[in-house]
């Protein structure tokens, strides 16, 4: 599987600048491997650091051969669309990559190893990230008895920055010499860290138990950051409740996109006043006192669609409206949220 010395290319054809490109953007931000190319013909000749919020400098090329010339050994499929389907047009690229001895990292629900295992050379591999590694026991609420802080990122919708928030806060905690751990619960976090659970690949009966098992595995950490998934507001998402119940969270960070007034994929569903959303998450987390009285202690506001003046105004507005600390963890750093927990 993926080793630290492997050189990586990210396939993002047509999606470098769309919300569906979040797998590739997450890898660009956090994967420690050398990334030699991003493949996207629409932005051919540009560099990733020309785009807002991407600090890493990686050339954008127009095809697979150009990425191989740059030294690519592993191809990461860089999109994360709703439903996790591989676009039909991508199979030609995948087959070409395999024929040219590249290994594949696939974070989508459609699996590739069973389809192409007979085409692989001895040194090649395919990592279908969303295949669970274990079948957990049914959850029992044991995490509530732990003495550590379990910080869960929750959201107003999909793709609002839950993973980014948890990772940035975990990095900050490590820098502050806190005994901290990060639990990846989706394909991007698992690819970056090499560990975690693909929560949306588990059967409903097993999802809470999978979260609980990972939290108990990290019981010796003083702070445990649990990567959030989905949203209680989204009709296509069932991920939030297993995360809340399985982790028995003690603190929550509400993640929101500053430019979202409705759900991304369901324009007929408005995002309520954030104070109402906060109350919803807090009420559900405590379940009328049956579980820890977890509070939303801050808001992580994704402002990447706003200019600097608009972003500052959006942060100030939400702070005055909710009386909670608000920050964009990419733009301004997570210190406000760290202080709210500490």
Structure tokens belonging to residue 291:
């579980």
**Which residues sit opposite 327 in a β-bridge?**
300
Q: Are 108 and 177 in contact (CB under 8 A)?
A: no
Strands 74-77 and 103-106, how do they pair?
parallel
What strands, in cross-sheet order, belong to the sheet with 74-77? Answer: 60-61, 35-39, 8-11, 74-77, 103-106, 126-128
pLDDT of residue 308: 95
Smallest CA-to-CA distance from 227 within 161, 275, 312, 325 is with 161
pLDDT bin (cut points 50, 70, 90) of residue 146 is very high
Percent of the chain whose pLDDT exceeds 90: 92
Block residue for tokens 């650091």: 49
83, pLDDT greater than 90: no
Mean pLDDT across the stretch 233-243? Answer: 95
pLDDT of residue 173: 97
DSSP output for 59-79: BEESSHHHHHHTT--EEEE--
pLDDT of residue 53: 75
Alpha carbon separation from 254 to 62, 158, 237, 279, 324 (Å, rounded): 37, 12, 16, 11, 10
Structure tokens belonging to residue 193:
């860290």
142-341 CATH pick, 3.40.50.300, 3.40.50.1100, 3.30.70.141, 3.20.20.60: 3.40.50.300
Mean pLDDT across the stretch 188-201? Answer: 96
pLDDT of residue 167: 97
Helices (H) then strands (E): counts for the chain:
11, 12
pLDDT of residue 82: 72
Mean pLDDT across the stretch 291-315? Answer: 96
pLDDT of residue 51: 86
pLDDT of residue 52: 67
**List of long-range contacts for 270-276, beta carbons under 8 Å, 24+ apart:** 271/156, 271/157, 271/233, 272/233, 274/156, 274/299, 274/318, 274/321, 274/322, 275/321, 275/322
**How is the chain split into domains, by residue range?**
8-128, 142-341
pLDDT tens, position by position, 32-65: 999 999 999 999 999 999 986 788 999 999 999 9
241, pLDDT greater than 90: yes
**Which residues sit opposite 181 in a β-bridge?**
224
| DSSP element (H, E) containing 153 | strand 149-155
C-alpha 58: how far from chain center: 21
Q: Helical H runs in the chain?
A: 22-30, 64-69, 90-99, 113-116, 162-175, 187-193, 204-217, 240-247, 274-286, 308-322, 335-341
Mean pLDDT across the stretch 10-33? Answer: 93
pLDDT bin (cut points 50, 70, 90) of residue 161 is very high
158, pLDDT greater than 90: yes
Distance CA 262, CA 271 (A): 5
87, pLDDT greater than 90: no
Distance CA 121, CA 150 (A): 43
Distance CA 126, CA 64 (A): 17
Verdict on whether the full-model pTM lies above 0.85: yes
pLDDT of residue 74: 98
Give phi and psi for 9, each to the nearest 5: -120, 150
pLDDT tens, position by position, 98-133: 999 999 999 999 999 999 999 999 999 999 999 999
Superfamily grouping for domain 8-128:
NAD(P)-binding Rossmann-like Domain (3.40.50.720)
């Amino acid at each position: 599987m993926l080793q630290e010395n492997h050189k990586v290319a990210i396939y993002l054809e047509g999606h470098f600048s769309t919300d569906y490109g979040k797998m590739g953007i997450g890898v660009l931000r956090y994967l420690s491997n050398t990334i030699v190319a991003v493949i996207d013909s629409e932005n051919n000749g540009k560099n990733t650091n020309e785009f807002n919020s991407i600090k890493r400098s990686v050339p954008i090329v127009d095809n697979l051969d150009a990425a191989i010339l740059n030294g690519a050994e592993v191809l990461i499929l860089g999109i994360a669309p709703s439903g996790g389907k591989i676009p039909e047009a991508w199979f030609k690229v995948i087959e070409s990559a395999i024929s040219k001895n590249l290994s594949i990292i696939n974070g989508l629900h459609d699996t590739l190893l069973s389809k192409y295992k007979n085409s692989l050379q001895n040194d090649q591999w395919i990592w279908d990230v969303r295949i669970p590694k274990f079948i957990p026991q049914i959850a029992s609420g044991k995490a509530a008895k732990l003495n550590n802080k379990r910080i869960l990122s929750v959201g107003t919708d999909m793709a609002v920055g839950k993973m980014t928030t948890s990772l940035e806060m975990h990095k900050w905690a490590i820098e502050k010499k806190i005994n901290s751990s990060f639990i990846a619960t989706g394909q991007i976090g698992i690819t970056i860290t090499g560990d975690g659970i693909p929560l949306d690949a588990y059967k409903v009966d097993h999802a809470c138990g999978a979260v609980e098992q990972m939290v108990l595995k990290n019981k010796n950490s003083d702070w445990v950051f649990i990567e959030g998934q989905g949203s209680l507001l989204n009709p296509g998402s069932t991920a939030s409740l297993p995360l809340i119940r399985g982790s028995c969270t003690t603190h929550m960070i509400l993640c929101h996109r500053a430019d979202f007034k409705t759900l991304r994929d369901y324009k007929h569903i408005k995002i309520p006043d954030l104070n109402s959303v906060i109350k919803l998450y807090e009420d559900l987390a405590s379940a009328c006192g049956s579980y820890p009285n977890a509070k939303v202690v801050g808001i992580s506001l994704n402002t990447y669609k706003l200019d600097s003046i608009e972003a500052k105004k959006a942060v100030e507005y939400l702070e005055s409206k909710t009386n909670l600390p608000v920050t964009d963890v990419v733009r301004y750093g997570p210190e406000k949220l760290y202080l709210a927990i500490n």
